[in-house]
Amino acid sequence: MSSKNSFKYDSLTSDNAAFLFVDHQTGLLPLVNDWSEVELKNNVTALAKLAKIYKMPVVLTTSYEEGPNGPIAPGLKEMFPDVEIIKRQGEINAWDDPNFVKAVEATGRKKLIISGILTDVCVAFPTLSAIEAGYDVVAAIDGSGTLNQTVREAAISRMVHAGAQIMTWFPIMAELQGDWKKSTAPDMVRLLIEHAVKYGLIVSSYVANKPDQTIVPKDFKA
């Protein structure tokens, strides 16, 4: 007896997804203990660079900047100088702010890549709400942080049970690229060199054996 699998693999593309950066704020960063400061900065920056490489819509939001949460983390806003920050005045769940929802709707995308601090609140709450509203959600778990690994695992379980996918920046990048022959390949390789350090060694070996390579940034020095 055969059964038909109803699962459909609908991958992320630069045309169907948007990036949502939720509450990466200076006052919340000290609460993150499941990643080191260096790891978290590396991962969030990689996600932000993906949005720029593939020219994808970005939504930035903060929660009660005037209070202890503080302003958006240095560097993130600078990467998107033309993106207005949705500054929520009290709503803990970003989806409860009509301005945030309006900004998400304005992207025209039905797939949302969400990262934020804290994972169990700032990521999980809007993830659940967005799924209820009909969106497909990817929680970029390594661009998010929380109190400890137990809290992170509990948040992951909750989101997965609601239908979210859990991914890290590397496979998100791979899905968006999809094919080494795309023109964005050199930018993708540069991202790997900068944020997956050991990949730089692989690239060095590749360049040494293939001096006429086309997918490595032209200014790369092995």
85-88: strand order across its sheet: 85-88, 58-63, 17-22, 111-116, 136-140, 165-167
Report H helices in the chain.
37-53, 76-79, 98-107, 124-132, 149-162, 169-177, 185-195, 197-209
Based on the residue annotation, tell me whether 132 is a catalytic residue of this protein: no
Q: With CA atoms as reference, report the closest residue to 109 among 62, 156, 59, 144.
A: 59
Choice among 22, 56, 94, 122 that is catalytic: 122
Characterize the bridge pairing of strands 17-22 and 136-140.
unpaired
d(CA 187, CA 109) in angstroms, rounded, equals 23
* DSSP summary character for residue 93: S
CB-CB contact of 29 with 117 (8 Å): yes
Any idea which residues carry the catalytic annotation?
122
